[in-house]
Amino acid sequence: MPVITISSQYGAGGPELGRELAKRLGIDYLDKEIIHKVALEVNVPDSEVEEFEPKHHSKYKTFFSTIFDLDALKRKAKTLEEAEEESSFDDRDEIPYQFNVDGWIDSDIYKQMIVKIISALGDRRGVVIAGRGGQHILRDNPRTIHVRLVADFDDRVDKMAKKRNMTTSDAEEYVSTMDSRSRDYLRFYFDCDPDEDTLYDVVINTSRLSLASCADLVETLAKGLAE
């Protein structure tokens, strides 16, 4: 069974489709589990990892983390010689594990862990991965199906207004904010746009198709690729 990545506009039904596909295909659906895996890798609470997730993404926080290596004093260099050398953010890009990051996380470490974990998941047979740039990280993996869900803005607003007991105005602002954060997250970490159609094998409008119909379509694709 192939790996399936699901990218979704906020309120278009990504989590619902992911869980339904996992149930039908008898495979794992990984969403918050990925947060926990990152937390275990760097030995921090899940809540600290969540601060770098798409729904909490802040352009200001991530911007300044690429300019100032504010956490340098909280890391331990591997050797005395390394400790005497001046560290830089660029060096960490070239040598990802130059420093012991135990007990600390920033945007650079977060990206490294997300890429590491999702890349490893891409080598598994049968798993559904929720968001976090999976469509980009596994873009060259032939055993993957990349799915994008979209829906009319008004439909997504109505859904969130009912789900979160919001006014229409508040729901409009909330959905717009979450869409913007998701878009900024992908641009910052992976230099790609979630609306770039070539990242996906199939783009589905959930305003036109039911959850069951969407699941039928992706299930057929998955079983075809598994043959």
Please report the domains of the chain, with CATH numbers, ordered by start residue: 3-226 (3.40.50.300)
pLDDT band at 110 (very low <50, low <70, confident <90, very high): confident
The confidence score (pLDDT) of residue 81 equals 42
The confidence score (pLDDT) of residue 72 equals 44
The confidence score (pLDDT) of residue 203 equals 96
Above pLDDT 90, what percent of the chain? Answer: 50
Strands (E), the chain: 3-8, 28-30, 76-77, 99-100, 127-130, 144-150, 202-205
pLDDT in tens, 183-222: 988 998 888 898 898 999 999 999 999 999 999 999 999 9
Sheet order of strands, 28-30 included? 28-30, 127-130, 3-8, 144-150, 202-205
- Do the Cβ atoms of 4 and 128 come closer than 8 Å? yes
End-to-end CA distance of the chain: 8
DSSP state of 73: G
- Grouping H, G, I as helix, E, B as strand and the rest as coil, residue 43 is coil
| Integer Cα distance of 139 and 13 in angstroms | 22
Contacts of 184 (CB under 8 A, 6+ apart): 57, 59
How remote is the C-alpha of 135 from its chain's centroid?
A: 9
pLDDT in tens, 61-84: 555 444 454 444 444 433 334 433
Q: Answer whether residue 41 shows pLDDT above 90.
A: no
Comparing C-alpha atoms, which of 26, 7, 139 is closest to residue 17? 7
Q: For strands 127-130 and 99-100, give the pairing.
A: unpaired
pLDDT in tens, 118-164: 999 888 878 999 988 999 999 999 999 999 999 999 999 999 999 99
